[in-house]
């Protein structure tokens, strides 16, 4: 699994802690972790929580990432922004049980964490426990197990509904404010990670055009 970490500007100072914790849990299980920043509050490329949603959609729809780990002060804004885009299903994860039940019941492709609210003593421990429960096994098996069939059915219904209620990603990329888009994809390491992993030539070509690459 290719995992992308994205931090917005209000919590950028915690990027290194979050990245190292995520890597320590995910990489021994065979996953690849890519840090899309922000890397510090002083980064030239500033990402808002709304831009997190757009960047998440680009990564998921292009195949450059299978899972996005993100958040903001409360996690709420990042979650809402992610879910505004097609083919992104983002859950708010506050504790390890949230993480496990999201993987088993909702089987999404992004999580939003609160990096300010409740982020005190033991915050790095809670992060590690959350990430451990994310990668404990196969996703979408249901919880409790006897609920697996209706939960899997409801997930498919939700995916089908989102196909109707959301515009496709290329239409979004072409019609959204282009400065807003460029800001979302201007991180210091975005081009290195994205173009090496992108599986959609049309999306890649358009992003190169936006970046002037």
67-125 confidence digits (pLDDT tens): 999 999 999 999 999 999 999 999 999 999 999 999 999 999 999 999 999 999 999 99
CATH architecture of 2-211: 3-Layer(aba) Sandwich (3.40)
Host H or E run for residue 91? strand 90-92
4-15 confidence digits (pLDDT tens): 999 999 999 999
Cα 52 from Cα 82, distance rounded (Å): 7
Alpha-carbon radius of gyration of the chain: 16
Domain range annotation of the chain: 2-211
Residue found under tokens 């195949």: 63
For residue 85 the two structure tokens come to: 């885009």
Cα 19 from Cα 113, distance rounded (Å): 13
Q: Which among 57, 149, 75 has a CA at the least distance from the CA of 115?
A: 75
Please answer whether residues 49 and 77 qualify as being in contact, where contact means their C-beta atoms are separated by less than 8 angstroms.
yes
């Amino acid at each position: 699994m290719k995992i992308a970490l994205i931090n917005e500007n209000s919590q950028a100072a915690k990027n290194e802690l979050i990245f190292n914790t995520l890597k320590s849990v995910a990489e021994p299980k065979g996953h690849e972790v890519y840090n899309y920043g922000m890397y510090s509050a002083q980064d030239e490329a500033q990402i808002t929580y709304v831009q997190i949603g757009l960047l998440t959609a680009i990564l998921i729809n292009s195949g450059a990432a299978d899972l996005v780990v993100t958040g903001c002060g409360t996690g709420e804004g990042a979650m809402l922004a992610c879910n505004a885009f097609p083919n992104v299903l983002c859950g708010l994860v506050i504790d390890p049980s949230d993480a496990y039940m999201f993987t088993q019941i909702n089987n999404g492709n992004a999580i939003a964490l609160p990096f300010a609210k409740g982020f005190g003593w033991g915050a790095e421990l809670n992060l590690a426990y959350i990430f451990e429960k994310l990668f404990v096994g196969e996703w979408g098996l249901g919880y409790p197990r006897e609920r697996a069939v209706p939960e899997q059915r409801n997930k498919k219904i939700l995916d089908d509904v989102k196909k109707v209620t959301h515009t496709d990603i290329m239409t979004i990329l072409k019609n959204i404010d282009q400065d807003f888009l460029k800001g979302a994809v201007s991180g210091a390491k975005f081009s290195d990670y994205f173009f090496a992993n992108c599986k959609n030539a049309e999306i890649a070509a358009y992003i190169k055009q936006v970046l002037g690459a």
